[in-house]
Amino acid sequence: MHMRQEFNKLLLLIVAMVGVTISIFPFYWMFTASTLTESQIFKVPPTLVPGTNFFENLDKLQNAWPVWKALFNSIFVSGITTVTTVFFSALAGFAFAKYQFKGRELLFFAVLLIMMVPTQVMLVPMFIIMMNFDWIDTYYALIIPFLVTPFGVFLMRQQMLGFPTELIEAARIDGCKDLGIFFKIVLPTMKPACAALGIVTFMQQWGNFIWPLVVINSREMYTLPLMLAMMVQPGQVVQYGPVMVGAVLGLIPMLLLFLLFQKHFVSGVFSGSVKG
């Protein structure tokens, strides 16, 4: 009996270790490759210890590509859309959860319906709209279509359904205005939900690839993933050292975010994201 338990323990440990190695290894190789020269990266057998070439690779990268601008663009675009999505979703979610008004069911149904539709359906008409607005290759195209998401409203409404209505009534009797109730009472208690929604939104915007690929032409407007994809296009001389430096730089904001909001990360990620 004891033997069997020990054996099971060992089996679990082995499965877990194999899983961890496979999960972590590409990251390790990405960091390592960013510190190696091109010939070290492609050496047989492979170089598995970090080298000393990181700053040379960084130099090559920033001389050939607008990496800092791309990093800024990614942070700027993802940051703004995250803040507005969370704010407007909380506002709309509050109305849907705690007010009775004409058209409420119908409007919320529309939100649910659009949530199910893959964003690619909108790709062509959105592109035409951007052309008509003359927004191609600008921040407007990267930001304005994503200021709100139906999913955000859905999530916030779900969270706010549980908020005690008595609290709101009490505040109203005390003379608090609707907007005051939202800012002073509802929003502060919704911080965890806001954090979770914020994380998903930021991740989705950061990883948004097909849209920047469609609306951005000039190098100065690249987001970081777009720049990295352009670095390996056919016709480019691909230098993997600098590419991996770019990859590392792009991962750092996400790692920082993860360390800061670890607790909310998991609950946020439940809410779903898609390959794309």
Is 110 a binding residue for other proteins by CB under 8 A? The answer is yes
Cα–Cα distance measured from residue 215 to residue 224, given in angstroms and rounded to the nearest whole number: 15
For residues 224 and 71, the answer to whether their CB atoms sit within 8 Å is yes
Total residues at the site for other proteins (CB under 8 A)? 99
User: Of 89-108, which residues contact other proteins (CB under 8 A)?
Assistant: 89, 91-92, 94-96, 98-101, 104, 107
Does residue 72 interact with other proteins by CB under 8 A? no
Indicate which single residue of 54, 76, 127, 140 sits in contact with other proteins (rule: CB under 8 A).
127
Residue 7 CA, distance from chain mean position: 41
Nearest Cα to 241, choosing from 97, 64, 68? 64
49 binds other proteins per the rule CB under 8 A:
no
Nearer to other proteins, 69 or 224 (CB): 224
Question: Does 144 interact with other proteins (rule: CB under 8 A)?
Answer: yes
Give the binding range for other proteins (CB under 8 A) out of 53-61, 62-70, 190-198, 232-240: 232-240
Minimum separation from the CB atom of position 271 to other proteins (A): 10
DSSP alpha helix (H) spans, the chain: 2-33, 38-41, 54-64, 67-98, 104-116, 123-133, 139-143, 150-161, 165-173, 178-181, 187-189, 191-207, 210-215, 224-231, 240-270
Q: Is 209 exposed, middle or buried (0-12, 13-18, 19+ CB in 10 A)?
A: middle
| Nearest by Cα to 50 from 24, 66, 30 | 30
235 binds other proteins (CB under 8 A): no
Q: Is 260 in the site for other proteins (CB under 8 A)?
A: no
Whose Cβ is closer to other proteins: residue 69's or residue 208's? 208
For other proteins, the binding residues in 166-185 under the rule CB under 8 A are: 168-169, 172, 177-179, 182
Min CB(193)–other proteins separation in Å: 16
| Cα 165 to Cα 97, 157, 244, distances in angstroms | 10, 14, 52
CB of 114 to other proteins, least distance (A): 5
Closest C-alpha among 210, 242, 223, 231 to residue 61: 242
Contacts of other proteins in 146-165 (CB under 8 A): 147-148, 150, 153, 165
The distance of closest approach from Cβ of residue 125 to other proteins in the complex, given in angstroms and rounded to an integer, is 4
